[in-house]
Amino acid sequence: MIIGGKRSSAEFPYKNSSSLSIRLLIYLFFFLSGAASLIYQILWTRQFIPVFGNSSYAITVVLVAFMAGLGLGSWFFGRYADRHRNRLLLYSIIEAGVALSAFIIPLILSLLKKIMPIFFSSLAESILLISIIRFTFSFMILFLPSFLMGGTLPVLSRYCIDELKFVSHRLSLLYGLNTLGAAAGVFGAGFFLIETFGLSGTNSVAIALNLFIAGTMFFIWFLREKKGEKVHLKEKEPAKKKNLEKESSLGQPDLGGLRKVILSIAIITGFTSLSLEILWTRYMFFRIPSTPYSFSSILGVFLICLGIGSLLYRLLFASRKNQVLILAFILILIGPLTLTMLHVASKLAISYGLRFLPFFFINPSSFLWEKVQSINIAAITIFVPAVFIGITFPILCKIFTQNIKKVGGSIGKLYAVNTVGSIAGSFLPVFVLIPLLGIRLSFLLTALFISAAGLGLIFILQKGHKIIRTVQAFASLFIL
């Protein structure tokens, strides 16, 4: 709408206090949405065990189906959000769909619990066929809710980002808060909700969160539609020539080539993050007493670190130039930091047992001790490298997103590709690396792989610039 030759504030909803309130609500709700999503993942892992048996198998199946749905959902809804204007309404529908799916899944599992033993008894001799059937059923059951969850980040990013210069700041805040919410969901479900309310009650809590978010977002969309206000941002396309000149001054390849490189790096970071999560989990089970809280502790700490990393990127790196070079440095450092903190945690565990920071003040006879003892060594081992891993996704999105009209599609595509790497990372350590190499060599190989990716990125950027050659030499010496 043009009034007096100027655009109205409705076209730029973050220019007024009402729209600022909406943005703050979006950040809050995306935190809660992340919490609900991981509550579901913890619940589904436990609910699948009576139906399909074998807890490690249930965890793997839920993880793979969950990530596959997230990846496909982000790719689909990212492209969809770029073409459609009512993104708050779309987000409301997605959250309502997640709630409906989560309500139906326990009913389906209850039915399968009665049918599966009879069905599997006729296939007792075909272990491979049983495994295929288990995975197929699991994937079909979990696909819809995880598919919908995958759409939330690109849809909200498309709504919140109206200029390319805001990609790094707003995307990192959305992703960071959502991941911290996911950590809250893990700790809440694993430490408190399931014990207090049971599986069914905890599921109801998560459903209530989704419905609350969906209802509030729909109400906001409806009110603004009724007032005739536009609830989307007016995109402002920057001057392409100026941007291209800036990019070329950094010694980067052409934009098309750079985007292909970034997609490859996204696969590598996805693979590395899940591989390290699994390796850390296996390592912790040898270092700490096995308790009902072990898995939730490791996953929760890992997610907290990813969220902190994303927020640190916003504070420290989002406004800086040379984003590709920063990414390369981060990738190079992840490897040695992983190995260093692994060694430090081992020494601390040997010297002090489990009684070291951050929980040295808790009495072992306290009821809190069992819940926090598994967090001790996990926090020391995981924190630093996982924070660096958390920086990688927002910086990848910043580099990859080159067109304001395709923000949703760019973020959705990058998230989907990253998820492909994560799926590979959930399988390869369990079935290949650990059986063949053991945990320590698997850590070493994974650390070298991610650092080599950073060195490779610097090599691609190198076009005779002395500074880049110096960085490459320094990084090589650092790893050695």
What is the CATH classification number for the domain harbouring 191?
1.20.1250
User: Is the predicted pLDDT of residue 424 greater than 80, yes or no?
Assistant: yes
CB crowding 70-80: b at 16 or more within 10 Å, else e? bbbbbbbbbbb
Q: Span 235-259, mean pLDDT?
A: 52
Let me know the angle formed at the C-alpha of 304 by 445 and 99, rounded to the nearest 5 degrees.
Answer: 110
Q: Helix (H, G, I), strand (E, B), or coil: what is residue 3?
A: strand
Query: To the nearest whole number, what is the mean pLDDT of the chain?
Result: 81
Residue-wise pLDDT tens digits, 33-73: 999 999 998 998 888 877 766 666 667 777 888 899 999 99
Are 292 and 220 found together in one domain?
A: no
Are 171 and 308 found together in one domain?
A: no
- What's residue 241's pLDDT? 44
Most confident of 48-57, 213-222, 364-373: 213-222
Per-residue confidence band for 258, with pLDDT thresholds at 50, 70 and 90: confident
- What's residue 275's pLDDT? 95
Q: Span 235-243, mean pLDDT?
A: 49
pTM, 2 dp: 0.85
Is the pLDDT higher at 382 or at 10?
A: 382
For residue 128, the enclosing domain spans 8-236
- What's residue 6's pLDDT? 42
Evaluate whether residue 1 is within a structural domain.
no
- What's residue 293's pLDDT? 66
Evaluate whether residue 3 is within a structural domain.
no
Phi, psi of 317 (to 5 degrees): -120, -15
Are 408 and 309 found together in one domain?
A: yes
Let me know the angle formed at the C-alpha of 476 by 473 and 480, rounded to the nearest 5 degrees.
Answer: 140
User: Is the predicted pLDDT of residue 459 greater than 70, yes or no?
Assistant: yes
Q: Report whether 152 contacts 158 (CB < 8 A).
A: no
The DSSP code sequence of 58-126 is: HHHHHHHHHHHHHHHHHHHHHHHHHH-S-HHHHHHHHHHHHHHHHHHHHHHHHHHHHHHHHHHHTTTT-
Report how far residue 228's alpha carbon sits from residue 208's, in angstroms, rounded to the nearest whole number.
30
Evaluate whether residue 391 is within a structural domain.
yes
Amino acid letter for position 301: V
Are 246 and 393 found together in one domain?
A: yes
Are 288 and 424 found together in one domain?
A: yes
Domain closes at, from 194, 212, 236: 236
Are 225 and 260 found together in one domain?
A: no
- What's residue 265's pLDDT? 96
Percentage with pLDDT > 70 across the chain: 75
Q: Report whether 298 contacts 415 (CB < 8 A).
A: no
User: Is the predicted pLDDT of residue 373 greater than 70, yes or no?
Assistant: no
Structural domains in the chain (count): 2
Are 354 and 312 found together in one domain?
A: yes
What is the enclosing helix (H) or strand (E) of 424? helix 407-428
Amino acid letter for position 76: F
Q: Which of 33-37, 133-137, 253-257 has the lowest mean pLDDT?
A: 253-257
User: Is the predicted pLDDT of residue 370 greater than 80, yes or no?
Assistant: no
Are 321 and 426 found together in one domain?
A: yes
- What's residue 235's pLDDT? 53
Q: Helix (H, G, I), strand (E, B), or coil: what is residue 6?
A: strand
Residue-wise pLDDT tens digits, 88-113: 999 999 999 999 999 999 999 888 87
- What's residue 18's pLDDT? 61
Report how far residue 287's alpha carbon sits from residue 468's, in angstroms, rounded to the nearest whole number.
41
Most confident of 63-72, 374-383, 418-427: 418-427
User: Is the predicted pLDDT of residue 444 greater than 50, yes or no?
Assistant: yes
Are 380 and 267 found together in one domain?
A: yes
Evaluate whether residue 2 is within a structural domain.
no
Evaluate whether residue 155 is within a structural domain.
yes
Tell me the two tokens of residue 170.
């707003």
Are 332 and 391 found together in one domain?
A: yes
Domain closes at, from 191, 207, 236: 236
Are 32 and 70 found together in one domain?
A: yes
Evaluate whether residue 139 is within a structural domain.
yes
What is the enclosing helix (H) or strand (E) of 395? helix 369-400
Domain closes at, from 217, 236, 255: 236
β-partners of residue 7 are 2
Evaluate whether residue 225 is within a structural domain.
yes
Are 272 and 415 found together in one domain?
A: yes
Q: How far is CA 234 from CA 21, 407, 466, in A?
A: 18, 13, 42
